[in-house]
């Protein structure tokens, strides 16, 4: 069973707004066995919309549309849907009552206008989907075997409609296959090296199970996908293949994508062992601390961070000896180690992570080549520092280094 997602809005096409809606919709559809055949972004322009609707209906079973449902003249989705389905707009009393209620309850000092009341106009052939979080209703229209669903482009409004209305209705309308994914997250080895290591296993995969490599800045996700009519058989086959795969990559596996992130795994380790952590970050600019504090309950083990971006901050706050900087440069194993020791002593923690490096585009206070990175882990009984070459693109250097820092920290904690 196939679906197409159509996102409407000039703001997407000029890069002013990132299309996160399609990713969410695709994931929700996949859960019920609906495969997305195509994602299309188009202008708020009548001919483009009409052509997109027609072409999509010839390719797929379900067409999901987001955007273009506002009350202003540039939002023409409802009018174009009427033209496409040879329909007309009619006022829906329930939608009108909802719009008036929202204005009375939440929009202070702004009286409802005729423009706002126009949100209650919907195609007569449409089934209205209640939008509890906004004024623009969702709309569902069936044409033969094809179902069209139109939803607002505001993400939190669209998400509520997808979960509460759209997914249940599609599940009731269509008989769908089962789709199962299992994504194994690995760190510390490149895509080609992993592929070589598991080549024999991959060649022997059953025809209904596919493997995809998803590399991303220091980690590679291995996604196994299976599709078929019998869920139990698919799940059993997926588990059997996973059991064959794990021994081949056990040293680089850090969990499943849908289970826990690497920072969550580290958080559990620190909590279970009653250990504390601090960070001293230079070129990573607090991104390690940001990921740590994104995990609920981080205050129980994370004591704080020093973002010592400038050399003076390393010397004055972390007490890095000035002679180390002069002798080895600010981007060095010696300075990284001193930063980690300084953070651990300052915060009185069991572990400290430190990063120093040259993320580019210029060399800054060091002669180290762009992409040169040192990561140090200081523990109560262990001391670790390692040099890495993370590439030449600033964002890539930073993100890969953050991932590597968590990977190294986990390994050091597990030694205790």
The two tokens of residue 153 are 């482009």
197 burial level (CB within 10 Å; 0-12, 13-18, 19+): middle
Residue 415 pLDDT > 90: no
Q: State the pLDDT at residue 259.
A: 61
Q: Decide: helix, strand or coil at residue 61.
A: coil
* E strand or H helix at 55: helix 46-57
Residue 107 pLDDT > 80: no
The two tokens of residue 152 are 């607002």
Residue 289 pLDDT > 80: yes
**Pick from 158-162, 299-303, 392-396, 408-412: least confident:** 392-396
List, for residues 265-288, the tens digit of each pLDDT value: 899 999 999 999 999 999 999 999
**CA angle, residues 249, 352, 354, in degrees to nearest 5:** 80
Give the pLDDT band of residue 309 (cuts 50, 70, 90): very high
The two tokens of residue 269 are 């380790």
**Pick from 28-32, 72-76, 126-130: least confident:** 72-76
Residue 36 pLDDT > 90: yes
- Count of residues making up the chain: 416
**Pick from 238-242, 252-256, 387-391: least confident:** 252-256
Give the pLDDT band of residue 116 (cuts 50, 70, 90): confident
CA 314 – CA 114 distance, rounded (Å): 61
Q: State the pLDDT at residue 114.
A: 83
The number of CA neighbours under 13 Å toward the Cβ of 163 is 9
List, for residues 321-334, the tens digit of each pLDDT value: 999 999 999 999 99
List, for residues 214-245, the tens digit of each pLDDT value: 998 778 999 999 988 898 999 999 999 999 99
Q: What is the maximal distance between C-alpha atoms in the chain?
A: 80
pTM of the model: 0.66
Give the pLDDT band of residue 200 (cuts 50, 70, 90): very high
Q: State the pLDDT at residue 363.
A: 66
List, for residues 52-71, the tens digit of each pLDDT value: 999 999 999 999 999 988 87
Q: State the pLDDT at residue 364.
A: 67
Residue 32 pLDDT > 80: yes
CA 82 – CA 124 distance, rounded (Å): 8
Q: State the pLDDT at residue 115.
A: 83
What is the chain's mean pLDDT, rounded?
A: 92
Look-up: residue for tokens 């430190």? 354
DSSP class of residue 300 equals G
DSSP string, 235-293: HHHHHHHHHHHHHHHGGGEEEETTT--HHHHHHHHHHHTT--EEEEESTTTTHHHHHHH
DSSP string, 72-91: STT--HHHHHHHHTT--EEE
Q: State the pLDDT at residue 217.
A: 78
Q: State the pLDDT at residue 258.
A: 64
Residue 376 pLDDT > 80: yes
CA 290 – CA 288 distance, rounded (Å): 5
Residue 340 pLDDT > 70: yes
Residue 354 pLDDT > 90: yes
- Tell me the mean pLDDT in the region 304-320: 96
- Contact (CB, 8 A) for 224 and 210: yes
Q: State the pLDDT at residue 108.
A: 64
Preceding amide of 361 cis, omega within 30 = yes
Task: Return the number of other C-beta atoms located less than 10 Å from residue 146's C-beta.
Answer: 17
The two tokens of residue 336 are 């990284």
- Which of 119-123, 194-198, 387-391, 408-412 has the highest average model confidence (pLDDT)? 194-198
- Contact (CB, 8 A) for 4 and 63: yes
Q: State the pLDDT at residue 111.
A: 75
Angle between helices 46-57 and 77-84 (to 10 degrees): 50
Q: State the pLDDT at residue 262.
A: 83
């Amino acid at each position: 069973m196939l679906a197409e997602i159509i996102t409407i809005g000039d703001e997407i096409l000029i890069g002013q707004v990132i299309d996160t809606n399609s990713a969410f919709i695709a994931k929700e559809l996949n859960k019920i066995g609906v495969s997305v055949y195509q994602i299309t972004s188009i202008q708020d322009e009548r001919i483009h919309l009409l052509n997109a609707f027609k072409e999509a209906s010839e390719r797929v079973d379900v067409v999901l549309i987001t955007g273009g449902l506002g009350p202003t003249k540039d939002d023409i989705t409802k009018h174009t849907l009427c033209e496409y389905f040879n329909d007309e707009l009619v006022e829906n009393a329930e939608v009108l009552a909802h719009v008036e209620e929202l204005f009375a309850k939440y929009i202070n000092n702004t009286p409802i206008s005729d423009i706002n009341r126009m949100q209650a106009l919907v195609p007569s052939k449409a089934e209205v989907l209640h939008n509890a979080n906004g004024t623009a209703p969702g709309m569902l229209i069936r044409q033969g075997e094809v179902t069209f669903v139109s939803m607002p482009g505001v993400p939190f409004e669209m998400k509520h409609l997808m979960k509460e209305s759209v997914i249940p209705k599609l599940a009731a309308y269509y008989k769908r296959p089962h789709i199962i994914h299992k994504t194994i997250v690995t760190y510390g080895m490149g895509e080609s090296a992993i592929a070589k290591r598991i080549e024999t296993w991959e060649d022997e995969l059953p025809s209904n199970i596919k493997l995809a490599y998803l590399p991303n800045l220091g980690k590679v996700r291995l996604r196994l996908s299976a599709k078929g009519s019998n869920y139990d058989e698919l799940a059993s086959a997926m588990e059997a293949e996973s059991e064959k795969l794990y021994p081949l990559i056990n040293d680089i596996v850090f969990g499943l994508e849908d289970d826990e992130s690497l920072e969550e795994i580290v958080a559990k380790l620190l909590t279970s062992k009653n250990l504390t952590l601090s960070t001293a970050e230079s070129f990573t600019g607090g991104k390690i601390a940001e990921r740590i504090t994104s995990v609920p309950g981080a205050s129980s083990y994370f004591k704080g961070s020093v973002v010592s971006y400038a050399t003076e901050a390393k010397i004055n706050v972390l007490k890095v000896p000035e002679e180390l900087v002069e002798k080895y440069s600010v981007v060095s194993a010696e300075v990284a180690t001193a930063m980690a020791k300084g953070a651990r002593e300052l915060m009185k923690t069991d572990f400290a992570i430190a990063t120093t490096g040259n993320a580019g585009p210029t060399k800054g206070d060091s002669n180290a080549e762009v992409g040169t990175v040192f990561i140090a882990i200081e523990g109560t009984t262990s001391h670790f520092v390692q040099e890495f070459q993370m590439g030449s693109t600033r964002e890539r250097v930073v993100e890969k280094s953050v991932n590597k820092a968590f990977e190294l920290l986990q390994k050091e904690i597990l030694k205790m």
